[in-house]
Structure 1
Amino acid sequence: MIGKVLPILLILVGVGGGIGAGLVLKPAPMPEAALAVNPCGERTEQGKDVHAAMADSHGDDHAEYDGQAHDYVKLNNQFIVPVVGQDKVESLVVMSLSVEVLAGQQEQVFKREPKLRDAFLQVLFDHANMGGFRGSFTNSNNMDVLRQALRETARKVVDDLISDVLIVDINRQDV
Protein backbone atom coordinates (compact mmCIF):
# COMPACT_ATOMS: atom_id res chain seq x y z
CA MET A 1 0.00 0.00 0.00
CA ILE A 2 2.71 2.49 1.01
CA GLY A 3 4.62 1.60 -2.19
CA LYS A 4 1.73 2.98 -4.27
CA VAL A 5 1.01 6.08 -2.16
CA LEU A 6 4.63 7.24 -1.71
CA PRO A 7 5.29 8.11 -5.41
CA ILE A 8 2.04 10.06 -5.61
CA LEU A 9 2.87 11.89 -2.38
CA LEU A 10 6.37 12.75 -3.66
CA ILE A 11 4.91 14.09 -6.92
CA LEU A 12 2.45 16.29 -5.04
CA VAL A 13 5.17 17.62 -2.72
CA GLY A 14 7.43 18.33 -5.71
CA VAL A 15 4.71 20.15 -7.66
CA GLY A 16 3.70 22.14 -4.57
CA GLY A 17 7.31 23.07 -3.89
CA GLY A 18 7.77 24.21 -7.49
CA ILE A 19 4.68 26.38 -7.40
CA GLY A 20 5.71 27.84 -4.04
CA ALA A 21 9.22 28.62 -5.29
CA GLY A 22 7.76 30.25 -8.41
CA LEU A 23 5.53 32.50 -6.35
CA VAL A 24 8.31 33.46 -3.95
CA LEU A 25 10.88 34.14 -6.66
CA LYS A 26 8.51 35.94 -9.06
CA PRO A 27 9.93 39.39 -9.97
CA ALA A 28 8.05 42.43 -8.73
CA PRO A 29 5.74 44.02 -11.30
CA MET A 30 7.22 46.92 -13.26
CA PRO A 31 5.81 50.34 -12.41
CA GLU A 32 3.65 51.82 -15.18
CA ALA A 33 6.15 54.67 -15.70
CA ALA A 34 8.93 52.21 -16.58
CA LEU A 35 6.98 50.76 -19.49
CA ALA A 36 7.02 52.07 -23.05
CA VAL A 37 5.31 51.05 -26.26
CA ASN A 38 7.58 49.35 -28.81
CA PRO A 39 7.13 49.75 -32.60
CA CYS A 40 4.78 46.74 -32.63
CA GLY A 41 2.41 48.54 -30.25
CA GLU A 42 3.23 46.32 -27.29
CA ARG A 43 4.44 47.40 -23.86
CA THR A 44 8.11 46.74 -23.08
CA GLU A 45 10.72 47.96 -20.62
CA GLN A 46 12.03 51.43 -21.39
CA GLY A 47 15.51 51.50 -22.84
CA LYS A 48 15.24 47.95 -24.14
CA ASP A 49 16.76 47.45 -27.58
CA VAL A 50 14.08 47.72 -30.28
CA HIS A 51 15.16 44.51 -32.01
CA ALA A 52 15.32 42.63 -28.74
CA ALA A 53 11.87 43.87 -27.80
CA MET A 54 10.45 42.82 -31.15
CA ALA A 55 12.16 39.44 -31.10
CA ASP A 56 11.07 38.83 -27.51
CA SER A 57 7.46 39.69 -28.20
CA HIS A 58 7.07 37.91 -31.52
CA GLY A 59 9.78 35.27 -31.62
CA ASP A 60 10.62 36.22 -35.20
CA ASP A 61 13.67 37.88 -36.65
CA HIS A 62 13.08 41.42 -37.81
CA ALA A 63 14.32 44.81 -36.77
CA GLU A 64 13.94 48.41 -37.78
CA TYR A 65 16.68 50.96 -37.42
CA ASP A 66 18.13 53.74 -39.54
CA GLY A 67 14.65 54.09 -41.03
CA GLN A 68 14.81 50.71 -42.77
CA ALA A 69 13.34 47.39 -41.74
CA HIS A 70 15.63 44.36 -41.75
CA ASP A 71 15.09 40.63 -41.70
CA TYR A 72 17.48 37.89 -40.61
CA VAL A 73 17.87 34.80 -42.75
CA LYS A 74 19.39 31.73 -41.12
CA LEU A 75 21.32 29.71 -43.68
CA ASN A 76 19.92 26.19 -43.79
CA ASN A 77 22.93 24.04 -42.93
CA GLN A 78 25.93 24.45 -40.68
CA PHE A 79 29.39 25.09 -42.10
CA ILE A 80 32.03 22.47 -41.27
CA VAL A 81 35.62 23.62 -41.65
CA PRO A 82 38.60 21.30 -41.13
CA VAL A 83 41.64 22.81 -39.41
CA VAL A 84 44.70 21.14 -40.93
CA GLY A 85 48.13 21.10 -39.31
CA GLN A 86 51.18 19.00 -40.18
CA ASP A 87 49.35 17.21 -43.02
CA LYS A 88 46.47 15.99 -40.85
CA VAL A 89 43.15 17.32 -39.58
CA GLU A 90 43.69 18.64 -36.05
CA SER A 91 40.15 19.85 -35.42
CA LEU A 92 36.81 20.65 -37.01
CA VAL A 93 35.02 23.97 -36.68
CA VAL A 94 31.23 23.89 -36.98
CA MET A 95 29.45 27.21 -37.56
CA SER A 96 25.94 28.47 -38.13
CA LEU A 97 25.53 31.76 -39.98
CA SER A 98 22.66 34.16 -40.53
CA VAL A 99 22.54 37.15 -42.84
CA GLU A 100 20.83 40.49 -42.36
CA VAL A 101 18.85 41.73 -45.37
CA LEU A 102 16.34 44.45 -46.09
CA ALA A 103 12.80 43.41 -45.22
CA GLY A 104 11.19 41.24 -47.86
CA GLN A 105 14.45 40.12 -49.48
CA GLN A 106 14.73 36.71 -47.82
CA GLU A 107 13.66 34.87 -50.97
CA GLN A 108 16.52 36.46 -52.93
CA VAL A 109 18.98 35.07 -50.40
CA PHE A 110 17.49 31.57 -50.60
CA LYS A 111 17.67 31.67 -54.42
CA ARG A 112 21.40 32.46 -54.25
CA GLU A 113 22.20 30.34 -51.20
CA PRO A 114 24.34 27.71 -53.01
CA LYS A 115 26.62 30.39 -54.42
CA LEU A 116 26.65 32.23 -51.11
CA ARG A 117 27.54 29.03 -49.20
CA ASP A 118 30.37 28.31 -51.64
CA ALA A 119 31.80 31.80 -51.16
CA PHE A 120 31.43 31.58 -47.37
CA LEU A 121 33.18 28.19 -47.32
CA GLN A 122 36.10 29.66 -49.27
CA VAL A 123 36.42 32.49 -46.74
CA LEU A 124 36.21 30.01 -43.85
CA PHE A 125 38.84 27.72 -45.41
CA ASP A 126 41.16 30.71 -45.97
CA HIS A 127 40.62 31.80 -42.36
CA ALA A 128 41.45 28.28 -41.16
CA ASN A 129 44.57 28.10 -43.34
CA MET A 130 45.81 31.41 -41.90
CA GLY A 131 45.49 29.95 -38.39
CA GLY A 132 42.31 31.83 -37.53
CA PHE A 133 40.74 28.83 -35.79
CA ARG A 134 43.78 27.92 -33.70
CA GLY A 135 44.35 28.94 -30.11
CA SER A 136 41.95 31.56 -28.80
CA PHE A 137 39.91 31.60 -32.00
CA THR A 138 36.93 33.42 -30.46
CA ASN A 139 38.80 36.53 -29.33
CA SER A 140 37.26 39.80 -30.48
CA ASN A 141 39.88 40.78 -33.05
CA ASN A 142 39.88 37.35 -34.67
CA MET A 143 36.08 37.25 -34.92
CA ASP A 144 35.96 40.81 -36.31
CA VAL A 145 38.36 39.84 -39.10
CA LEU A 146 36.23 36.81 -39.95
CA ARG A 147 32.94 38.78 -39.85
CA GLN A 148 34.37 41.49 -42.09
CA ALA A 149 35.60 38.95 -44.65
CA LEU A 150 32.23 37.17 -44.64
CA ARG A 151 30.37 40.49 -44.99
CA GLU A 152 32.48 41.65 -47.94
CA THR A 153 32.10 38.28 -49.67
CA ALA A 154 28.34 38.25 -49.13
CA ARG A 155 27.98 41.72 -50.63
CA LYS A 156 29.95 40.67 -53.71
CA VAL A 157 27.86 37.56 -54.23
CA VAL A 158 24.40 39.09 -53.77
CA ASP A 159 24.97 42.67 -54.94
CA ASP A 160 24.75 44.56 -51.64
CA LEU A 161 21.51 42.80 -50.71
CA ILE A 162 23.12 41.66 -47.44
CA SER A 163 23.96 44.33 -44.89
CA ASP A 164 25.62 42.07 -42.31
CA VAL A 165 26.64 38.50 -41.53
CA LEU A 166 26.05 37.11 -38.05
CA ILE A 167 27.97 34.20 -36.57
CA VAL A 168 25.16 32.52 -34.66
CA ASP A 169 27.00 29.43 -33.39
CA ILE A 170 30.63 28.39 -33.47
CA ASN A 171 32.25 25.29 -32.05
CA ARG A 172 35.68 23.73 -32.46
CA GLN A 173 36.14 20.03 -31.84
CA ASP A 174 39.73 18.79 -31.60
CA VAL A 175 40.31 15.34 -33.13
Structure 2
Amino acid sequence: MVKKLIPVILGILGLLIGGGAGFFLRPAPEPAAEGAATEHAAADPHAEGEGEAAILPEFAKLQNQFVVPVMEGGKISAMVILSFSLEVETGASPEVYNVEPKLRDMFLQVLFDHANAGGFAGVYTDGANLVILREALLESAKSILGEKVKDVLITDLVRQDS
Protein backbone atom coordinates (compact mmCIF):
# COMPACT_ATOMS: atom_id res chain seq x y z
CA MET A 1 0.00 0.00 0.00
CA VAL A 2 2.77 2.43 0.95
CA LYS A 3 4.67 1.56 -2.23
CA LYS A 4 1.65 2.63 -4.31
CA LEU A 5 1.36 5.97 -2.52
CA ILE A 6 5.01 6.95 -2.92
CA PRO A 7 4.73 7.81 -6.67
CA VAL A 8 1.57 9.84 -6.02
CA ILE A 9 3.19 11.72 -3.14
CA LEU A 10 6.35 12.33 -5.18
CA GLY A 11 4.25 13.55 -8.11
CA ILE A 12 2.31 15.99 -5.94
CA LEU A 13 5.50 17.16 -4.24
CA GLY A 14 7.14 17.71 -7.64
CA LEU A 15 4.14 19.69 -8.89
CA LEU A 16 4.09 21.85 -5.77
CA ILE A 17 7.82 22.53 -5.95
CA GLY A 18 7.58 23.31 -9.67
CA GLY A 19 4.58 25.58 -9.09
CA GLY A 20 6.40 27.38 -6.29
CA ALA A 21 9.50 27.84 -8.43
CA GLY A 22 7.39 29.14 -11.30
CA PHE A 23 5.60 31.55 -8.97
CA PHE A 24 8.80 33.00 -7.51
CA LEU A 25 10.73 33.05 -10.79
CA ARG A 26 8.01 34.54 -13.00
CA PRO A 27 9.06 37.65 -14.96
CA ALA A 28 7.90 41.08 -13.84
CA PRO A 29 5.01 42.57 -15.87
CA GLU A 30 6.02 44.97 -18.60
CA PRO A 31 4.95 48.51 -17.64
CA ALA A 32 4.78 49.61 -21.28
CA ALA A 33 2.15 46.98 -22.10
CA GLU A 34 -0.06 48.06 -19.19
CA GLY A 35 0.17 51.71 -20.21
CA ALA A 36 -0.67 50.91 -23.83
CA ALA A 37 -3.79 48.98 -22.80
CA THR A 38 -4.97 51.89 -20.64
CA GLU A 39 -4.34 54.41 -23.44
CA HIS A 40 -6.23 52.22 -25.92
CA ALA A 41 -9.21 51.93 -23.60
CA ALA A 42 -9.30 55.67 -22.97
CA ALA A 43 -8.91 56.48 -26.68
CA ASP A 44 -11.93 54.38 -27.72
CA PRO A 45 -15.00 56.40 -26.69
CA HIS A 46 -17.37 53.68 -27.96
CA ALA A 47 -15.74 50.91 -25.97
CA GLU A 48 -18.17 51.17 -23.05
CA GLY A 49 -21.60 52.64 -23.64
CA GLU A 50 -22.05 56.36 -24.27
CA GLY A 51 -18.55 57.80 -24.30
CA GLU A 52 -17.36 56.21 -21.06
CA ALA A 53 -13.82 54.84 -21.06
CA ALA A 54 -13.66 51.06 -20.93
CA ILE A 55 -12.96 49.64 -17.49
CA LEU A 56 -10.20 47.08 -17.71
CA PRO A 57 -10.82 43.89 -15.79
CA GLU A 58 -8.70 43.01 -12.80
CA PHE A 59 -7.57 39.47 -12.07
CA ALA A 60 -6.85 38.02 -8.64
CA LYS A 61 -4.86 34.79 -8.78
CA LEU A 62 -5.57 32.44 -5.90
CA GLN A 63 -2.21 31.74 -4.30
CA ASN A 64 -2.03 27.94 -4.08
CA GLN A 65 -3.11 25.10 -6.29
CA PHE A 66 -6.09 22.89 -5.51
CA VAL A 67 -5.47 19.14 -5.27
CA VAL A 68 -8.51 16.89 -5.76
CA PRO A 69 -8.42 13.09 -5.46
CA VAL A 70 -10.41 11.09 -8.02
CA MET A 71 -11.87 7.95 -6.47
CA GLU A 72 -12.78 4.71 -8.25
CA GLY A 73 -13.92 1.66 -6.33
CA GLY A 74 -13.07 3.26 -3.00
CA LYS A 75 -9.45 3.92 -4.03
CA ILE A 76 -7.65 6.96 -5.36
CA SER A 77 -7.26 6.45 -9.11
CA ALA A 78 -5.91 9.91 -9.97
CA MET A 79 -5.12 13.35 -8.62
CA VAL A 80 -6.34 16.53 -10.32
CA ILE A 81 -4.43 19.74 -9.69
CA LEU A 82 -6.00 23.09 -10.59
CA SER A 83 -5.20 26.79 -10.32
CA PHE A 84 -7.71 29.63 -10.53
CA SER A 85 -7.89 33.36 -11.05
CA LEU A 86 -10.94 35.49 -10.42
CA GLU A 87 -11.95 38.30 -12.76
CA VAL A 88 -13.19 41.05 -10.48
CA GLU A 89 -14.17 44.69 -10.57
CA THR A 90 -11.26 47.11 -10.56
CA GLY A 91 -9.96 47.53 -7.01
CA ALA A 92 -11.59 44.36 -5.65
CA SER A 93 -8.43 42.21 -5.56
CA PRO A 94 -7.55 43.06 -1.93
CA GLU A 95 -10.99 41.87 -0.84
CA VAL A 96 -10.45 38.58 -2.72
CA TYR A 97 -7.20 37.99 -0.83
CA ASN A 98 -8.86 38.91 2.50
CA VAL A 99 -11.48 36.15 2.06
CA GLU A 100 -9.24 33.65 0.25
CA PRO A 101 -9.48 30.97 2.98
CA LYS A 102 -13.28 31.03 2.68
CA LEU A 103 -13.04 30.96 -1.14
CA ARG A 104 -10.65 28.00 -1.01
CA ASP A 105 -13.02 26.10 1.28
CA MET A 106 -16.01 26.73 -1.00
CA PHE A 107 -14.00 25.91 -4.15
CA LEU A 108 -12.74 22.65 -2.64
CA GLN A 109 -16.30 21.60 -1.86
CA VAL A 110 -17.34 22.35 -5.46
CA LEU A 111 -14.30 20.45 -6.78
CA PHE A 112 -14.96 17.43 -4.57
CA ASP A 113 -18.62 17.37 -5.65
CA HIS A 114 -17.53 17.65 -9.31
CA ALA A 115 -15.06 14.77 -8.84
CA ASN A 116 -17.65 12.60 -7.08
CA ALA A 117 -20.11 13.22 -9.93
CA GLY A 118 -17.51 11.91 -12.42
CA GLY A 119 -16.50 15.34 -13.70
CA PHE A 120 -12.79 14.45 -13.75
CA ALA A 121 -13.28 11.01 -15.34
CA GLY A 122 -12.94 10.27 -19.05
CA VAL A 123 -12.60 13.37 -21.21
CA TYR A 124 -12.51 15.74 -18.25
CA THR A 125 -11.39 18.69 -20.42
CA ASP A 126 -14.58 18.61 -22.50
CA GLY A 127 -15.91 22.16 -22.97
CA ALA A 128 -19.38 21.43 -21.60
CA ASN A 129 -17.88 19.72 -18.56
CA LEU A 130 -15.66 22.73 -17.81
CA VAL A 131 -18.58 25.15 -18.27
CA ILE A 132 -20.49 23.29 -15.54
CA LEU A 133 -17.46 23.47 -13.25
CA ARG A 134 -16.85 27.19 -13.93
CA GLU A 135 -20.52 28.05 -13.29
CA ALA A 136 -20.49 26.21 -9.96
CA LEU A 137 -17.24 27.94 -8.95
CA LEU A 138 -18.59 31.36 -10.01
CA GLU A 139 -21.75 30.80 -7.98
CA SER A 140 -19.61 29.96 -4.93
CA ALA A 141 -17.40 33.01 -5.41
CA LYS A 142 -20.45 35.28 -5.76
CA SER A 143 -21.92 33.86 -2.56
CA ILE A 144 -18.89 35.31 -0.76
CA LEU A 145 -17.95 38.42 -2.80
CA GLY A 146 -21.23 39.30 -4.50
CA GLU A 147 -21.31 40.91 -7.93
CA LYS A 148 -17.68 42.05 -7.64
CA VAL A 149 -16.76 38.69 -9.17
CA LYS A 150 -17.27 38.58 -12.93
CA ASP A 151 -15.76 35.22 -13.85
CA VAL A 152 -13.65 32.29 -12.66
CA LEU A 153 -10.74 31.36 -14.89
CA ILE A 154 -9.15 27.92 -14.76
CA THR A 155 -5.50 28.79 -15.32
CA ASP A 156 -4.03 25.29 -14.83
CA LEU A 157 -5.61 21.85 -14.98
CA VAL A 158 -3.58 18.65 -14.69
CA ARG A 159 -4.69 15.09 -14.01
CA GLN A 160 -2.17 12.48 -12.87
CA ASP A 161 -3.36 8.90 -12.91
CA SER A 162 -1.89 6.54 -10.33
Same fold (TM over 0.5): yes
User: Which of 151, 155, 162 pairs up with 1:168?
Assistant: 155
- Structure-2 residue corresponding to 1:76: 63
The correspondence of residues 1-175 of structure 1 with structure 2, limited to 5 A, is: 39-41=37-39, 67-175=54-162
Q: How many residues align?
A: 119
Q: 2:89 corresponds to which letter in structure 1?
A: L
- Structure-2 change in CA distance of 1:159 and 1:89 (3 Å): same
- Structure-2 change in CA distance of 1:142 and 1:65 (3 Å): farther
Identity rate of aligned residues, in percent? Answer: 44
Structure of greater Rg: 1
Give structure 1 stretches of 5+ with no counterpart.
Answer: 1-37, 43-49, 51-63
Q: Determine which structure has greater relative contact order: mean sequence separation of CA pairs < 8 Å that are 6+ residues apart, divided by chain length.
A: 2
Which structure is higher in strand share? 1
Which structure is higher in helix share? 2
> How high is the TM-score relative to the length of structure 1?
0.63
* 3-state DSSP of counterpart to 1:125: helix
CA RMSD of aligned residues (A): 2.1
Offset at residue 41 of structure 1 (A):
3.3
Give structure 2 stretches of 5+ with no counterpart.
Answer: 1-35, 42-46
Offset at residue 69 of structure 1 (A):
3.0
CA distance in 2, matches of 1:154, 1:40: 27
* Greater than 2 Å deviation, 4+ residue runs: 38-42, 64-69
